């Protein structure tokens, strides 16, 4: 056996030792824990309602901390893991119980958030946290899938940790339900549909992850006395699995397509933001019947060459011609009087105002940094004059900031170094007196005085 082969064998053994989970998995205890976690009655119902209201308040005031707290309180994950276990072990009874409890939880969540947003006196000037829960992306799919994998690993592990808390936060089941309740309370079908789609995506991919790991870990399957019942149950389970997997693949493919299209449009707009006689001031993306973008342009009317150039640029970003529509708002004689032109002017004004606000904020930050630097600046000339009146033997005084570094430990201590040049060496008491005076005068206890002869 060659040295290279031996090295590869050792590396392989190290990897196997690190990734080996055979001794840390307890499927019996995990089975019992998941089954106990699907039950939803009594205190759990009230806890869910309370957590939904907390999450709704967090969304209402755009508070990430409040939303995270609500997700940690919520018991929503239990029935979802139960559905995955039921599918993986061919247990139709468990599957029905878990589905029933999940539907009850969803109904309570929607009702609690609906009532809250119906009666809350708080207004939503900038509902950014709500809006972010209405447009699922491929990242939500990945988070739900790998969050589900981490969750089922944690349940099956003998040594318990805090993974489930992280899964509850990462997969974010509560906020979409609250957003759906907001959509119902305000008769906003876009909010309701988008949020419910996100919740379904999260739930389905956690179920899929649980199903895969239940099969991988070899959980004990349900036993049947009658073979006919067994075949019927397996057919039912297989049907449900197909109904779970196929929409998962479809939604993942759709989200990947929409995400790529959105990125391509953003790159196209950034590249063509300003051109001769025109300006792209806004764009909309519609994904219901296949991704399609509408780009809004203000300025002079586009000629044939300009339109062809924009279409060619869109094609270079993988945007087909039939997937992009260009709408022009032409300004004639500098007098935008029609409604569309007024909208363009308003949009441009708002954009410029936002950009100016950001720049003004940056200027204030830089001015504050400059003030801090000025406050820490040493008044060299004035200090030298004062030092000369008290220590006439000093011919030249140099002041500079530096650092003292210990050569053995390499520890650093910042200091202020004062170099006093005199015709004759200063006496120790005079040098110490100068050091004490400079520390008081400059408000710096790190002053170090050096005496040089010139």
- 24-222 is classed in which CATH architecture? Up-down Bundle (1.20)
Interatomic CA distance for residues 65 and 48, integer angstroms: 18
CB atoms within 10 A of CB 34: 28
Interatomic CA distance for residues 317 and 264, integer angstroms: 6
Evaluate whether 92 touches 86 at the Cβ level (below 8 Å): yes
Model pLDDT, residue 218:
79
- The DSSP line for 122-188 is ---S--HHHHTTSS--HHHHHHHHHHHHHHHHHHHBSS--SHHHHHHHHH--HHHHHHHHHHHHTT-
Q: Which CATH superfamily is domain 380-453 in?
A: K homology (KH) domain (3.30.300.20)
Supply the DSSP symbol for 25.
B
Model pLDDT, residue 2:
64
Ordered per-residue pLDDT tens for the chain, 454 residues: 566 666 656 676 666 666 666 666 777 888 888 888 777 777 777 887 888 888 888 877 777 777 777 777 777 788 888 888 888 887 878 888 888 888 888 888 888 888 888 887 766 655 666 666 667 777 777 888 888 888 888 888 877 666 666 676 676 778 888 888 888 888 888 888 888 888 888 888 888 888 888 888 877 777 665 666 667 766 776 777 777 677 667 777 777 888 888 888 888 888 887 777 677 777 888 877 778 888 888 777 777 888 888 888 888 888 888 888 888 776 554 444 455 555 555 565 566 666 677 777 788 878 777 766 666 677 778 888 888 888 888 888 888 877 777 777 777 778 888 888 888 888 888 888 888 888 888 888 888 888 888 7
Interatomic CA distance for residues 443 and 357, integer angstroms: 38
Model pLDDT, residue 149:
85
Model pLDDT, residue 258:
82
CB atoms within 10 A of CB 35: 18
Model pLDDT, residue 21:
64
Model pLDDT, residue 23:
63
Model pLDDT, residue 18:
61
Model pLDDT, residue 83:
86
Helix (H) or strand (E) holding 439: helix 428-442
Evaluate whether 421 touches 394 at the Cβ level (below 8 Å): yes
Model pLDDT, residue 388:
85
Evaluate whether 61 touches 2 at the Cβ level (below 8 Å): no
Would you list the domain boundaries of the chain?
24-222, 335-377, 380-453
- Say what the alpha-carbon torsion angle 140, 146, 151, 154 is, to the nearest 10 degrees: -150
Q: How many CA atoms lie within 13 A of 387 on its CB side?
A: 31
């Amino acid at each position: 056996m060659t040295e290279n082969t031996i090295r590869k064998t050792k590396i392989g053994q190290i990897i196997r030792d690190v990734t080996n989970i055979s001794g840390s998995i307890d499927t019996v205890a995990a089975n019992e824990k998941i089954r106990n976690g699907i039950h939803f009655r009594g205190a759990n119902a009230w806890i869910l309602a309370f957590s939904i209201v907390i999450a709704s308040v967090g969304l209402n005031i755009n508070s990430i901390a409040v939303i995270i707290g609500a997700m940690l309180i919520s018991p929503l994950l239990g029935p979802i893991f139960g559905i995955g276990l039921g599918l993986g072990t061919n247990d139709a009874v468990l599957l029905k119980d878990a589905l029933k409890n999940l539907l009850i939880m969803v109904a309570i969540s929607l009702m609690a958030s609906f009532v809250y947003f119906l009666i809350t006196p708080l207004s939503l000037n900038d509902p950014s946290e709500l809006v972010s829960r209405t447009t699922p992306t491929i990242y939500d799919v990945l988070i739900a899938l790998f969050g589900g994998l981490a969750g089922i690993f944690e349940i099956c592990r003998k040594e318990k940790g805090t993974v489930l808390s992280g899964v509850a936060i990462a997969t974010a089941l509560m906020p979409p339900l609250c957003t759906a309740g907001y959509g119902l309370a305000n008769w906003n079908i876009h909010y309701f549909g988008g949020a419910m789609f996100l919740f379904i995506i999260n739930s389905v991919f956690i179920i899929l992850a649980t199903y895969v790991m239940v099969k991988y870990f070899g959980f004990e399957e349900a036993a049947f006395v009658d073979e006919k019942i067994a075949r019927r149950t397996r057919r039912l389970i297989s049907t449900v699995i197909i109904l779970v997997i196929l929409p998962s693949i479809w939604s993942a493919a759709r989200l990947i397509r929409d995400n790529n299209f959105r990125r391509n449009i953003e790159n196209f707009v950034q590249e063509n933001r300003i051109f001769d006689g025109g300006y792209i001031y806004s764009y909309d993306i519609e994904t219901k019947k296949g991704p399609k973008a509408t780009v809004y342009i203000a300025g002079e009317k586009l000629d044939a060459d300009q339109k062809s150039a924009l279409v060619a640029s869109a094609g270079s970003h993988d945007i087909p011609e039939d997937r992009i529509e260009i709408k022009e708002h032409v300004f004639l004689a500098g007098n935008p009087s029609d409604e569309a032109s007024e909208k363009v002017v308003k949009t441009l004004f708002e954009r410029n105002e936002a950009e100016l606000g950001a720049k003004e904020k940056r200027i204030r930050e830089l001015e504050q940094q400059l003030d801090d630097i000025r406050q820490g600046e040493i008044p060299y000339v004035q200090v030298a004059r004062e030092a000369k009146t008290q220590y006439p033997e000093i011919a030249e005084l140099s002041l500079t900031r530096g650092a003292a570094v210990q050569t053995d430990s390499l520890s650093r201590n910042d200091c202020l170094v004062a170099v006093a040049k005199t015709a004759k060496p200063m006496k120790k008491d005079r040098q110490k007196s100068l050091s004490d005076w400079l520390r008081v005068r400059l408000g710096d206890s790190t002053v170090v005085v050096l005496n040089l002869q010139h």
